[in-house]
Amino acid sequence: MAVWTLGINHTTAPLDLRGRFAFALDQVEPTLCALRSSMSRQPEAALISTCNRTEIYCAGDKPELEHTLDWLAQTGGVSSTLLRSHSYTLQDDLAARHAFRVASGLDSMVLGETQILGQIKNAVRAAEAAGALGNTLSQLFQRSFAVAKEVRSSTEIGAHSISMAAAAVRLAGQLFEDLSQVKILFVGAGEMIELCATHFAAKNPKSIAIANRSLENGEKLARRFGAEVMRLADLPDRLHEFDAVVSCTASTLPIIGLGAVERALKKRKRRPMFMVDLAVPRDIELEVKALEDVYLYTVDDLAGVVQTAQASRQAAVAQAEAIVDAGVLSFMHWVDQRGSVPLIQQLNAQADEWRTAELARARKLLAKGEDVDAVLEALSKGLTQKMLHGAMAELRASDATARERASAAIQHFFLRKER
């Protein structure tokens, strides 16, 4: 059984390219079905898609890395050559190591962050729902969860981490002297917006508003922070009211355009606006960044901020990597053992066949009134003869090499002392 991984992330691909391969959670199941249908062998498959990475994990009889890459390139509307130049492909133990490092937060923009673990668990559930998860990938991900748990409980990898949300607050604090006088708008109501709202709310801003396509979801989040709720459709007309805008939705197209921001700045009499776009693909048009009075930061722009806290955690990385190494060895041992499963099944079936035959013979003898001890003796001899027949035949073979090979095998399996 081969395991392979194809992926792009924040270190290998620019934001706009990552945006072409961003899949919302409800898109994962049909995407996996399409991928597997494109392959004759229908491998196991799982898809992880976050703002920082898109990764496909597969397991099958033979690795099909080139086909996987070509299929993904076509899905994203780019050439295979372009995708290959920004992607990584890994196989077997290297694929397992990568999965364990990702789950443990060792491959994240924010070293040791925990959000990725929940995202992987969501991806696994989606793969299960699509019927794409088999024994091998199930084992891979369950073991990745166990490794991640051990890394977090046994090392200081997550200590003093600066999350994307905290980084956004830090940047806002550099622009505005007093965040308690700032009006903040959050666009979206997902996990990342909830995290950002929690961090900004701790600074007691002047007001908080949440704009979301679903008012119900927006109201649920707004109640936590005493925030105002507004419809996404009202955003262009009210954008000028806010000093800071943090956006993270699953929209496939920008929802805040250059024209809307220009109009907002005019109404604000050129007072600066702080904007954070955490979405992949972008929520805010790229051209907005060129406006003189707008300070726009994307996911990739925040990388420098979150890196500043990483030096103090490098000592824990070595410990975490050792835990990952042990997990990889254990998983690959399990995969190797899987190759023996058909033979084990055949051996068990043969033993059951012998046992059934001897039991049937013994029951007939008992039904005829034969002595119980004599029947048990015959049963044990019959089983013994059946089990040893093949070995004895090999020892009597005319070929000396065959006899020598059989002798060594018999001594190993039948005559060795218990260790």
φ, ψ (nearest 5 deg) of residue 59: -145, 130
Model pLDDT, residue 412: 75
CA–CA distance, 317 with 332 (Å, rounded to integer): 22
Residue 372 identity (one-letter amino acid): V
Evaluate whether 99 touches 139 at the Cβ level (below 8 Å). Answer: no
Give yes or no for residue 311 having a pLDDT over 70: no
CA–CA distance, 370 with 380 (Å, rounded to integer): 15
CA–CA distance, 167 with 108 (Å, rounded to integer): 15
354: exposed, middle or buried (Cβ count in 10 Å: 0-12, 13-18, 19+): middle
Q: Report the relative pairing of strands 207-212 and 228-231 from DSSP bridges.
A: parallel
Query: Mean pLDDT across the stretch 205-217?
Result: 90
Model pLDDT, residue 273: 94
Query: Mean pLDDT across the stretch 99-105?
Result: 94
Model pLDDT, residue 160: 56
Instruction: Identify the three-state secondary structure at position 91.
Output: strand
DSSP per-residue codes, 298-344:
ETTTTHHHHHTTSGGGHHHHHHHHHHHHHHHHHHHHHHHHHTTHHHH
What share of the chain has pLDDT > 90, as a percent? 47
Active site residue 51: yes
pLDDT band at 199 (very low <50, low <70, confident <90, very high): confident
Give yes or no for residue 161 having a pLDDT over 90: no
Model pLDDT, residue 28: 93
| Cα of 56 vs its chain's centroid, Å | 9
Query: Mean pLDDT across the stretch 358-383?
Result: 87
More confident residue, 60 or 161: 60
pLDDT in tens, 404-417: 887 887 787 777 76
Give yes or no for residue 154 having a pLDDT over 90: no
Give yes or no for residue 309 having a pLDDT over 80: no
Q: Which helix (H) or strand (E) holds 46?
A: strand 44-49
* Of the listed ranges 37-46, 131-140, 301-310, the one predicted with least confidence: 301-310
Query: Mean pLDDT across the stretch 322-328?
Result: 90
Q: What is the spatial order of strands in the sheet that 228-231 belongs to?
A: 228-231, 207-212, 183-187, 244-247, 273-277, 294-298
Going by C-alpha positions, the residue among 51, 54, 59, 48 that lies closest to residue 280 is 51
CA–CA distance, 406 with 145 (Å, rounded to integer): 44
Going by C-alpha positions, the residue among 175, 302, 309, 202 that lies closest to residue 248 is 302
DSSP single-letter state for residue 366? H
Query: Mean pLDDT across the stretch 225-254?
Result: 92
Give yes or no for residue 56 having a pLDDT over 90: yes
CA–CA distance, 256 with 188 (Å, rounded to integer): 12
CA–CA distance, 143 with 146 (Å, rounded to integer): 5
pLDDT in tens, 109-149: 877 888 899 999 999 999 999 999 999 999 999 999 999 99
CA atoms within 13 A on the CB side of 87: 25
Average pLDDT over the chain, rounded to whole? 88
What share of the chain has pLDDT > 70, as a percent? 95
Give yes or no for residue 97 having a pLDDT over 70: yes
Catalytic residue among 33, 51, 196, 248: 51
pLDDT in tens, 165-177: 888 898 899 888 8
CA–CA distance, 356 with 348 (Å, rounded to integer): 12
pLDDT band at 312 (very low <50, low <70, confident <90, very high): low
CA–CA distance, 163 with 155 (Å, rounded to integer): 18
